[in-house]
Amino acid sequence: MSSENNTSHFPVTGAGLGLRRALLSPLAKPENFEAMAPISFMEVAPENWINVGGRLGRIFREYTERYPFVTHGLSLSIGGPEPLDETFVRKVGQFLDQHNIRFYSDHLSYCSDEGHLYDLMPIPFTPEAIDYVAERVSRVQDILGRRIAIENVSYYAAPGQQISEIDFVTGVIEKADCNLLIDINNIYVNSVNHRYDAVEFLKALPGERIAYAHIAGHYHEAADLIIDTHGADVIPDVWDLLEVAYQTFGVFPTLLERDFNLPPLNELLGEVQHIADLQEKYQSQPVAAQQLQQTRQYG
């Protein structure tokens, strides 16, 4: 990458908002259209919309025709002990094609073992796990005929850990030849819970692999324990970390995640606007990380 920011290799651009069903009606009101100006793209979990028809399906179609969309999965279980659910992966592919979805990502975790666990479980940070996960990511990419991204996740225990989190994350990305969905809040949460430097971790990530980013709020359970909830406003320290990311890697698409405790729409859109403002601030500034390779592919 040159010293000027380049957005041509991203699947989407600008500031995004996770589309939740509770937002469908408020966002559809004409009086809110002007406030929606900072939204450049939207994201959904494909599991929540695959095979949805009728009135909800028509409304969703209206949104996918209005906005570029990406998807962030909940149940790929890329690190799970059970065989990869290839039937599900093919359904995801059909959904992506049906709605002209730009990109698909899921969590670097697992959520099934002889049934759905309804939580994102940590994969052991081991060299063997890198090989195992990378092989499964590669298989998903082969089935879909496109690259996917994996997201660095929040975790509260590290069973069987043999290598560092950063070595595990970067190892999977390199071996699988996939992209990264960088979650800024998860970096901050993990840095507090596991007592490491958030900026150091951030700067060690492969910036050339970033597809887009998430930013969200969390809950302070205790002074040394943060729970990743997506149910609160983004705190200043997390905004600061996003600025460090833009300074380091250049501006990349960034989406606000808010799953519950939804504030009034104007407040929610105010956070999306803040993302857009930061992107504008850093759009023309030199990138600190020089000579990043343009390896982003989103076919």
Q: How far, in Å, CA of 199 to CA of 186, rounded?
A: 12
Q: How many residues belong to the chain?
A: 299
DSSP state of 29: S
Amino acid at 203: K
The tens digit of pLDDT for each residue in 46-79 reads 999 999 999 999 999 999 999 999 999 998 989 8
For 55, the 3-state DSSP assignment is helix
| pLDDT value, residue 222 | 75
Going residue by residue through the chain, which has 299 residues, state the pLDDT in tens, using 9 for 90 and above.
Answer: 233 344 458 999 999 999 999 999 899 888 888 889 999 999 999 999 999 999 999 999 999 999 999 999 998 989 888 899 999 999 999 999 999 999 999 999 866 455 554 567 788 999 999 999 999 999 999 999 999 999 999 888 878 889 999 999 999 999 999 999 999 999 999 999 989 999 999 999 999 999 999 999 887 777 777 887 888 899 999 999 999 999 999 999 999 999 989 999 999 999 999 999 999 999 988 776 544 544 455 55
DSSP state of 11: S
| pLDDT value, residue 4 | 38
Q: How far, in Å, CA of 14 to CA of 89, rounded?
A: 28
Arch. (CATH architecture) of 15-283: Alpha-Beta Barrel (3.20)
| pLDDT value, residue 2 | 31
Q: How far, in Å, CA of 158 to CA of 166, rounded?
A: 13
Strand spans (E) along the chain:
15-18, 39-44, 69-72, 103-107, 110-112, 116-121, 149-151, 179-183, 210-216, 219-222, 225-227, 254-257
